[in-house]
């Protein structure tokens, strides 16, 4: 990272530069427009007057600084300016804004983490351009690197969007979701699977498979197909470290969850599979399988099928990848709304340096849902889909609720992350809410 001395010189583009300072400080003055810098546990705000005042202590470590006098009047307080600010966190804050080390919102939704050579790599859907009515479903798969899981450096797009060919499965208007990457020790390749929904026929969902020598790409397409000839929705990849065998869990769209063996290079299925958790209709049908393993047990967390609306997450336990699976019930404790703390789990990450820390990576897709959402939202949606039932709330009220998931209204570019630890009563997992939590607090 390069540093530049500015002394008393003003810059028209000064909002692109930031102060490198040493704590503790009582105040700092420099020219900046409504920019936030995460450094300490004290908020400082610079008014348009000459005074700079400390206003309160909080735990979010945020600075809010507004333009003050020209820098030349205060150059004794400015030591060095650097081209990129480093945003520093020392905890997770579920549901809150989360910025990368350059100050931009992290864009790795439907994400997963891989630990390689002492570094963590987070990757997922880049939704930065998915604004209401934009027609942009994704802007590729983005990857980040971290040494502590709190602070993420943007490594860029590892699977960029297609911008010209509308029929290309990676075109930004195609419904690309939930990428997963698995490393094959035999071929020494990183294998990426991506679910692609056909924008003209959402019930037709395929898998896009590509390989790379590096986690960061470039990735070369291997195939685009219906595994087992099935329409394949949300999924997860699982690798048995002892045998080297790998599996895919995916929802056979609007039907059940499939567990299928992968071939030796992890780029296809072998034909061996089993079916689980069959349900008669959506939203009861299970999707979004997230696999983890602990103490000899295998676990699957799955959600119902309600689009971007949150719904209850159930967890299942077994001893074999192909089942049978025991339904352990609702995973989120203390959640009176029964909406999985308004999130959907995309994957579970076992911390490599902690014996018993499993992190559920989840997205809060609809951040603008009102506080007074009905606590029986899932049952309301069921009543709308079940032909044997009447809708259990007035239709106009239901239409108002559904409007929050309208593509012309929802703003997925501002979706948030809800990362929470999975805890255990014996061998039964559960998730409870934390406003803030730290890796260091777990064994």
Q: Tens of pLDDT along 94-129? A: 999 999 988 899 999 999 999 999 999 999 999 999
Q: Tens digits of per-residue pLDDT, 173-211?
A: 999 999 999 999 999 999 999 999 988 777 789 999 999
Q: Tens digits of per-residue pLDDT, 83-96?
A: 334 457 889 999 99
Is residue 96, in this structure, part of any structural domain at all? no
Is residue 374, in this structure, part of any structural domain at all? yes
Which residue, of 82, 101, 125, is where some domain finishes?
82
Which residue, of 82, 99, 124, is where some domain finishes?
82
Is residue 97, in this structure, part of any structural domain at all? no
Range of the domain at 12: 3-82
Answer yes or no: do 369 and 233 share one domain: yes
Answer yes or no: do 238 and 300 share one domain: yes
Answer yes or no: do 263 and 161 share one domain: yes
Q: What total of structural domains would you count in the chain?
A: 2
Is residue 87, in this structure, part of any structural domain at all? no
Is residue 94, in this structure, part of any structural domain at all? no
Residue 87: per-residue pLDDT? 53
Residue segments in the chain with a per-residue pLDDT below the cut of 50: 1-86
Answer yes or no: do 257 and 196 share one domain: yes
Q: If DSSP states are collapsed to H, E and C, what string results for the chain?
A: CCEECCCCCCCCCHHHCEEECCCCCCCCCCCCCCEEEECCCEEEEECCCCCEEEEEECCCCEEEECCCCCHHHHHHHCCEEECCCCCCCCCECCCCCCECCCCCECCCEEEEEEEECCEEEEEEECCCCCCCCCCCCCCCEEEEEECCCCCCEEEEEEECCECCCCCCCCECCCEEEEEEEEEECCCCEEEEEEEEEECCEEEEEEEEEEEECCCCCCCEEEEEECHHHCCEEEEEEEECCCCCCEEEEEEECCCEEEEEEECCCCCCEEEEEEEECCCCCCCCCCEEEEEEEECCEEEEEEECCCCCCCCCEEEEEECCCCCCCEEEEECECCCCCCCHHHCEEEEEEECCCCCCCEEEEEEECCCCCCCCCCCCHHHHHHHHHCCCCCCCCCHHHHHHHHHHHCCCCCCHHHCEECCEEEEEECCEEEECCCCCECHHHCC
Which residue, of 65, 82, 99, is where some domain finishes?
82
Is residue 92, in this structure, part of any structural domain at all? no
Q: What is the mean pLDDT of the chain?
A: 83
Answer yes or no: do 22 and 73 share one domain: yes
Answer yes or no: do 298 and 351 share one domain: yes
The answer to whether residues 377 and 337 touch, using CB atoms and an 8 Å cutoff, is yes
Is residue 372, in this structure, part of any structural domain at all? yes
Answer yes or no: do 311 and 211 share one domain: yes
Q: Tens digits of per-residue pLDDT, 409-437?
A: 999 999 999 999 999 999 999 999 999 99
Answer yes or no: do 277 and 324 share one domain: yes
- CATH number of the domain bearing residue 238: 2.115.10.20
Is residue 98, in this structure, part of any structural domain at all? no
Answer yes or no: do 131 and 20 share one domain: no
Answer yes or no: do 340 and 414 share one domain: yes
Answer yes or no: do 202 and 326 share one domain: yes
Answer yes or no: do 119 and 258 share one domain: yes
Whether the full predicted model's pTM is greater than 0.85, yes or no, is no
């Amino acid at each position: 990272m390069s540093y530049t001395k500015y002394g008393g010189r003003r810059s028209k583009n000064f909002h692109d530069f930031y102060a490198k300072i040493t704590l503790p400080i009582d105040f700092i003055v420099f020219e900046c427009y409504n920019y936030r810098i995460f450094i300490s546990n004290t908020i400082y705000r610079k008014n348009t007057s000459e005074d700079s005042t400390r206003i309160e202590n909080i735990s979010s470590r945020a600075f809010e600084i507004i333009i003050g006098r020209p820098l030349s009047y205060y150059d004794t307080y400015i030591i060095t300016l650097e081209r990129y600010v480093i945003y520093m966190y020392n905890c997770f804050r579920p549901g809150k804004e989360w910025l990368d080390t350059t100050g931009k919102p992290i864009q790795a939704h439907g994400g997963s983490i891989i630990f390689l050579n002492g570094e963590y790599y987070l990757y997922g859907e880049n939704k930065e351009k998915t604004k209401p009515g934009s027609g942009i479903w994704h802007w590729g798969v983005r990857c980040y690197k971290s040494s502590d899981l709190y602070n993420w450096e943007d490594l860029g797009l590892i699977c960029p969007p297609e911008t010209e060919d509308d029929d290309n499965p990676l075109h930004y208007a195609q419904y690309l979701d939930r990428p997963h990457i698995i490393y094959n020790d035999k071929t020494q390749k990183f294998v990426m699977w991506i679910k692609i929904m056909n924008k003209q026929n959402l019930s037709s969902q395929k898998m896009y498979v590509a390989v790379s020598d590096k986690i960061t790409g470039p990735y070369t397409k291997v195939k685009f197909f219906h595994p087992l000839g099935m329409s394949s929705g949300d999924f997860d990849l699982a690798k048995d470290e002892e045998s080297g065998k790998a599996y895919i869990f995916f929802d056979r769209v609007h039907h059940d969850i499939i567990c299928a063996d992968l071939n030796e290079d992890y780029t296809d299925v072998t034909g061996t599979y089993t079916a689980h958790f069959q349900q008669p209709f959506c939203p009861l049908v299970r999707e979004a399988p997230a696999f983890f393993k602990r103490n000899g047990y295998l676990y699957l967390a799955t959600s119902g099928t309600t689009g971007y609306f949150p719904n209850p997450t159930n967890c299942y336990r077994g001893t074999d990848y192909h089942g049978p699976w025991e339904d352990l019930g609702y995973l989120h404790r203390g959640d009176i709304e029964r909406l999985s703390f308004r999130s959907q789990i995309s994957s579970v990450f076992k911390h490599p340096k902690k014996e018993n820390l499993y992190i559920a990576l989840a997205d809060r897709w609809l951040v603008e849902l009102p506080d007074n959402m009905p606590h029986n939202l899932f049952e309301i949606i069921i009543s709308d889909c079940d032909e044997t039932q009447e809708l259990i709330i007035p239709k106009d009220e239901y239409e108002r609720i559904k409007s929050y998931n309208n593509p012309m209204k929802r703003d997925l570019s501002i979706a948030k992350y809800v990362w929470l630890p999975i805890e255990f009563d014996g061998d039964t997992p559960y998730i409870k809410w934390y406003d803030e939590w730290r890796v260091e607090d777990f064994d």
